[in-house]
Structure 1
Amino acid sequence: MFDVEVPVLIVGGGGCGLAASIFLSDLGVDHLLVERRESTSVLPRAHYLNQRTMEIFRQHGLAGDVYRVSAPLANIGEVVWRTSLAGDGPLDGRDLHRMDAFGGRSTAGPYAADSPCPSTNLPQHRLEPLMRAHADERAPGSVLFNQVMEGFTQDESGVTAVVTDRVTGRSRTVRARYLLGADGGRSIGAALGVGMAGDGGAFDVISVHFSADLSRWWPGDSVLITNFVSPDGGIVSRYGMVAMGPSWGLASEEWALHFHFPAGVTPDLGEEASIARVRELLKLPDLEVAIHQVSKYHPEAVIADSFRVGRVFLAGDAAHRQPPATGLGLNSAIQDAHNIAWKLAAVLDGRADESLLDSYEVERLPTAHRNVSWAMYAFRNHAVAHAGLGLFPGQPPEATKANFEALFSDTPMGETRRVRADEVFATQRVEYQAHDIEIGFAYETGALVPDGTPPPPRDPMGARYHPVTRPGHRLPHAWLTRGADRVSSHDLVGASGGFALITGAVDEEWEVAAKRAADACGVAVTVVPVGAEPDAARYHDADGAWAAVRGIADGGAVLVRPDNHIAWRGGEGADEDLTAVLRRILGHHDTTTTRS
């Protein structure tokens, strides 16, 4: 009746869809991925990979390959604002502000303490082929490009889709229990009648991906991003540029230059015009430039009304789209896939009730609202920084130039202007030092058992992260040792869909309770005793990092989900009904916990 039958059909082969394929493979779930494009992305757009994403890649065996080709932390730790890259005028090539960023330089301490994985930078056109190779290796013949889904229907037991090979024109009928829409919002959400609400944005951003040797002019080996604020005025006076590798720092061969035109201006996006624009904006009239791609996108901050309709789930750009500020787009998409994958696996093999899948929207929709609103806030805050220079929309060029001359003047008022500018520029740490925004998101309800404790303090500027084992939060990172091995607390769960029960001392009662719960629910529950003293039977908390964040007494325990979020904690011993706890997390609501 059907040409292909699989448990899960993934539509979309970008970062989100490829991540979902990799995670489902590791969880033992057969699936089919179809992507309409011939190949992975040829555009470098998304590039910053935050610590939470790298932790997920570490869990699923991708981090090493990513780090081998991505930017070292030493080459991404600074963001600069300048008047221009080069030029020989008195206002050219002047620094306006420098900010340490992304866990590099002065921000290194908390980032390194809170995660086993540094942030990194790898543009999308290099990341996606790497991810596709991993997906192909784990699910041979199941990751298909040049395949377009023409349409789908769903019923009580599954989804039926028609998929057409764009080369041969042959169509096939695919039957799946569930469909994951990771198509960037092209069709699936609209077909379901799901609206996207929010801010549609006001202009298009032009991106020019090009190669050039800028080693003589780039403002430092540690600089990833340079934002330009030109004293000249003109139709493009605010723009930014990012190093895109494949070598890094001053050795970077490729770059992405981003700018926008005023309303009513229709730009020439041809190769010759783009080369001329790059030379003009960088003030390097003789620069040898090779254009790779010129593209445009429309920054928006929109979120789907729902992330689930029946047996169809929306993830990534199909569920939420945000401006590039804070780099939350691709990172959020990969984290969506991570959240839904283990739940699909648990339901498909009968370990969990279908209701567990409801927790995907319950958990990820509020997170999307947090991330999208933050990204738009950080995006718009650039205008605040410009105002700190005395620049305002509609200001005539001569007024702009006079402001810059006053800013750089060797006068008391010039000094005052520079100090003010530094203070205002420092507010852009909401974008470049957003440590808590990146790893501190938490689920208040969902596949977890709340313990009634209040959330940790919130840093209004999004920088300071507070590690806690409160249910719904990401498991805090702590280095542990066992024999000669040094592992992160994040390594205790693994990639195959099991839970970890972290206890204090070696406790036979917890071992018995965990085995009883595991047998009753059909899931793996690994008991991980962590102690303050070296002991072959337990992990050693050598520097006390785990003791500082565990939030439980020696006799208690913390139950960690397959996605390294806390499911439950509590107890002074194994008198808790762990089986009831686990059944509740897995959606079996016919039982209750003894304490919740």
Structure 2
Amino acid sequence: MSDVEVSVLIVGGGGCGLTTSLFLSDLGVDHLLVERRESTSVLPRAHYLNQRTMEIFRQHGVAEDVYRESCPLENMSEVVWRTSLAGDGPLDGRDLHRMDAFGGGTTAGPYAADSPSPSTNFPQHNLEPVLRRHADERAPDRVRFNHVMEEFTQDEDGVTAVVTDRETGESQTIRARYLVAADGGRSIGASLGVEMAGEPGAFQVMSVHFTADLSESWPGDSVLMTHFVSPDGGPISRYGIVAVGPGWGLHSQDWALHYHIPVGSTPDFSSETAVLRVRELLKLPDLEVAVHQVSHYVPEAVIADTFRVGRVFLAGDAAHRQPPATGLGLNSAIQDAHNLAWKLAAVLDGQADDALLDTFEQERLPVAHRNVSWAMYALRNHAVAHAGLGLLPGQPLEATQRNFLELFSDTPMGETRRIRAHEVFTTQRVEYQAHDIEIGFSYAAGALVADESQPPPRDPMGGRYHPVTRPGHRLPHVWLRKDGERVSSHDLVGAHGGFVLITGPENSAWVDAAERVAATHGVALQVVSVGTESADYQDVDGGWAALRQVPGEGAVLVRPDNHVAWRTERAGTSPASELTEVFARILGKPALVASGG
């Protein structure tokens, strides 16, 4: 007999596991999270939170706490490439390129129009304590750090796991209906025979988290990160530094320096070496440096061949791992959790058949392939930018320095080199202006009813996003008004589950149909009208009318994760029967069709 019985056991207390916990709490699902570490992460490795993630945090009441401590947009609106941070040589401290980024500067218009939630920068070692606090408050005594899952088995009805408190040495048997592996790929997937396919790591990255005053050398108050392409040669000539707060821009106190080390070399984790390295690479020999952490990782681009094995689901790094370029790792993990949580809640509540859970892989696996491929492409494109400066592998130091001197020269060839470098550096917008990559992902099949419409055009460079109400796509954001207050269309879907049917003001047929479907079949469904003064929400700027893509007598059905599940141009002769069939297909319950509506 088990010591503890829960609906869901979450293994892993990083960003993916903690968000899974707080989402399940909001959805009323009893669960237990166990994490082998004593505390949340001490590393600032993942730091960029894109708009889709912040929309999810907005939905679940976390965004305000994140924004309170995270980087303001005005301090993260630029990315810079330089020869060095400081130094007094003729090629030192020279700008190579500046790019507006993350919804700041020239990118501000589309980012602000397409989402109610600005992107932000909040390093992992600061984010995880916020997530843990929310998870603890919503599920007291259900988030247990310093606990390790020793072993588990599964059968047709659930999972049985042995969990040990590492402080006391006491073990408990946990019985759960389902298990979410958010363990970073540490062990669960491999134990189930899941294979990670793709490109293993080909180089090593050292990261130094340190405190220093760089205000006199940092290239601007709007700059979040600076890449360095050194003309000095040597084993480390390409590296970067990111502001990680507290304080931002010129007032940032903490920093993360990342640099590659030669293949086959042994990492040196000593603080003494790290201090020397920081001073050397930044060309600030007298800089006062306080080192907090020195870490090491090997970027890889791998994806699990399946995200579900029986009653076990792989999410986050356990399902896909990619280079940090474009910041898709942690963001994808949180979006995995968001996709999975409402489906677990619907099945556990009896609203949906277990088949609904198969759509987690069906929807998220293609997105993982897209994101991992994009991150690898963006990472490799840095080498293209370097080539635009005239840098080639194995090039003699003299040739490198000659190219740099010519780049900055007041000559016709210098002008040509600068223009060419600008053209090539601009292609790195695939990383820093990837608006469509971040919020434009969609599901071609899964918990939705597809229609015959064509998908919107995709920007090959990943920047331009096209909002649509096509099933499988994220609900477009528009500002509405209710009782004098401005409300996002995203706010129509709350944190506690349930579907929303968005209609026009004349919606009595839809209201009656929704009430019958909800009462008869136990589907959580709310009908809201958007339009004129008589509607529940007023479309004062005409944004919804421009984007809804269905007539006023039609309807758009939105899932609990704010993705469109179905849409129709009109109510038809039997809207209750139509809605019944729609929910049967979405929730995997064909019996709903037989019972009618």
Alignment TM-score > 0.5, same fold = yes
Equivalent AA in structure 2 for residue 212 of structure 1: A
CA root-mean-square deviation: 1.0
What SS does structure 1 have at the residue aligned with 2:476?
coil
Identity %: 75
Q: CA deviation at 1:483?
A: 1.9
- Following the alignment from structure 1 to structure 2, what is the Cα–Cα distance between the partners of residues 492 and 521? 22
User: Residue 267 of structure 2 contacts residue 296 of structure 2 at CA under 8 Å; is this kept in 1?
Assistant: no
Q: Show CA shifts across 1:400-455 (max 9, x none).
A: 11110111111000000000000000000000000000000000000000011111
1:155 and 2:155 aligned: yes
Distance change in 2, residues 1:406/1:311 (3 Å): same
Q: CA deviation at 1:398?
A: 1.5
What SS does structure 2 have at the residue aligned with 1:406?
helix
1:198 and 2:213 aligned: no
Q: CA deviation at 1:591?
A: 5.9
Equivalent AA in structure 2 for residue 539 of structure 1: Y
Task: Name 1:399's counterpart in structure 2.
Answer: 399
**Range moving further from structure 2, 498-507 or 426-435:** 498-507
What SS does structure 1 have at the residue aligned with 2:427?
helix
Task: Name 2:520's counterpart in structure 1.
Answer: 520
Equivalent AA in structure 2 for residue 131 of structure 1: L
- Following the alignment from structure 1 to structure 2, what is the Cα–Cα distance between the partners of residues 93 and 456? 44
Could you tell me which runs of 5 or more consecutive residues in structure 2 were left unpaired when the two chains were aligned: none
1:259 and 2:259 aligned: yes
User: Residue 161 of structure 1 contacts residue 175 of structure 1 at CA under 8 Å; is this kept in 2?
Assistant: yes
Equivalent AA in structure 2 for residue 206 of structure 1: M
- Following the alignment from structure 1 to structure 2, what is the Cα–Cα distance between the partners of residues 364 and 268? 38
- Following the alignment from structure 1 to structure 2, what is the Cα–Cα distance between the partners of residues 282 and 173? 52
1:94 and 2:94 aligned: yes
1:120-519 aligned within 5 A: 120-519=120-519
Q: CA deviation at 1:268?
A: 2.6
- Following the alignment from structure 1 to structure 2, what is the Cα–Cα distance between the partners of residues 521 and 428? 51
1:560 and 2:561 aligned: no
What SS does structure 2 have at the residue aligned with 1:127?
helix
User: Residue 27 of structure 2 contacts residue 497 of structure 2 at CA under 8 Å; is this kept in 1?
Assistant: yes
Q: CA deviation at 1:105?
A: 0.9
Q: Show CA shifts across 1:47-106 (max 9, x none).
A: 000000000000000000000000000011000000000000010000000000000111
Q: CA deviation at 1:571?
A: 3.1
Q: CA deviation at 1:264?
A: 3.3
Among residues 541, 545, 548, which one is paired with 2:546 in the alignment?
548
Task: Please report the TM-score for the alignment, with normalisation by the length of structure 2.
Answer: 0.98
Q: CA deviation at 1:266?
A: 2.8
Q: CA deviation at 1:519?
A: 1.7
Q: CA deviation at 1:559?
A: 0.2
What SS does structure 1 have at the residue aligned with 2:296?
strand
- Following the alignment from structure 1 to structure 2, what is the Cα–Cα distance between the partners of residues 54 and 313? 24
**Range moving further from structure 2, 24-33 or 564-573:** 564-573
User: Residue 43 of structure 1 contacts residue 293 of structure 1 at CA under 8 Å; is this kept in 2?
Assistant: yes
Task: Name 1:581's counterpart in structure 2.
Answer: 582
1:4-43 aligned within 5 A: 4-43=4-43
Q: CA deviation at 1:572?
A: 1.5
User: Residue 509 of structure 1 contacts residue 574 of structure 1 at CA under 8 Å; is this kept in 2?
Assistant: no
Equivalent AA in structure 1 for residue 183 of structure 2: D
Task: Name 2:533's counterpart in structure 1.
Answer: 534
What SS does structure 2 have at the residue aligned with 1:293?
strand
**Range moving further from structure 2, 580-589 or 180-189:** 580-589
Equivalent AA in structure 2 for residue 121 of structure 1: N
- Following the alignment from structure 1 to structure 2, what is the Cα–Cα distance between the partners of residues 316 and 482? 37
Q: CA deviation at 1:574?
A: 4.9
User: Residue 474 of structure 1 contacts residue 565 of structure 1 at CA under 8 Å; is this kept in 2?
Assistant: yes
User: Residue 580 of structure 2 contacts residue 592 of structure 2 at CA under 8 Å; is this kept in 1?
Assistant: no
Q: Show CA shifts across 1:120-145 (max 9, x none).
A: 00000000000000000000000000
User: Residue 513 of structure 1 contacts residue 574 of structure 1 at CA under 8 Å; is this kept in 2?
Assistant: no
What SS does structure 2 have at the residue aligned with 1:210?
strand
User: Residue 81 of structure 1 contacts residue 95 of structure 1 at CA under 8 Å; is this kept in 2?
Assistant: yes
Equivalent AA in structure 2 for residue 586 of structure 1: L
What SS does structure 2 have at the residue aligned with 1:350?
coil
User: Residue 506 of structure 2 contacts residue 553 of structure 2 at CA under 8 Å; is this kept in 1?
Assistant: no
- Following the alignment from structure 2 to structure 1, what is the Cα–Cα distance between the partners of residues 304 and 31? 25
- Following the alignment from structure 1 to structure 2, what is the Cα–Cα distance between the partners of residues 483 and 291? 52
Q: Show CA shifts across 1:146-184 (max 9, x none).
A: 000011000000000010111111111100000000000
- Following the alignment from structure 1 to structure 2, what is the Cα–Cα distance between the partners of residues 517 and 84? 64
Equivalent AA in structure 2 for residue 567 of structure 1: A
Equivalent AA in structure 1 for residue 559 of structure 2: R
Task: Name 1:51's counterpart in structure 2.
Answer: 51
User: Residue 48 of structure 1 contacts residue 327 of structure 1 at CA under 8 Å; is this kept in 2?
Assistant: yes
Task: Please report the TM-score for the alignment, with normalisation by the length of structure 1.
Answer: 0.98
Q: CA deviation at 1:592?
A: 6.0
User: Residue 44 of structure 1 contacts residue 256 of structure 1 at CA under 8 Å; is this kept in 2?
Assistant: yes
- Following the alignment from structure 1 to structure 2, what is the Cα–Cα distance between the partners of residues 116 and 162? 43
Equivalent AA in structure 2 for residue 473 of structure 1: H
Could you tell me which runs of 5 or more consecutive residues in structure 1 were left unpaired when the two chains were aligned: none
Q: CA deviation at 1:590?
A: 4.4
- Following the alignment from structure 2 to structure 1, what is the Cα–Cα distance between the partners of residues 159 and 572? 43
- Following the alignment from structure 2 to structure 1, what is the Cα–Cα distance between the partners of residues 82 and 469? 42
What SS does structure 2 have at the residue aligned with 1:164?
strand
Task: Name the count of aligned residue pairs.
Answer: 591
Equivalent AA in structure 1 for residue 554 of structure 2: G
- Following the alignment from structure 2 to structure 1, what is the Cα–Cα distance between the partners of residues 273 and 358? 50
Equivalent AA in structure 1 for residue 344 of structure 2: L
**Range moving further from structure 2, 97-106 or 394-403:** 394-403
Q: Show CA shifts across 1:476-511 (max 9, x none).
A: 000000121210000001011111000012321010
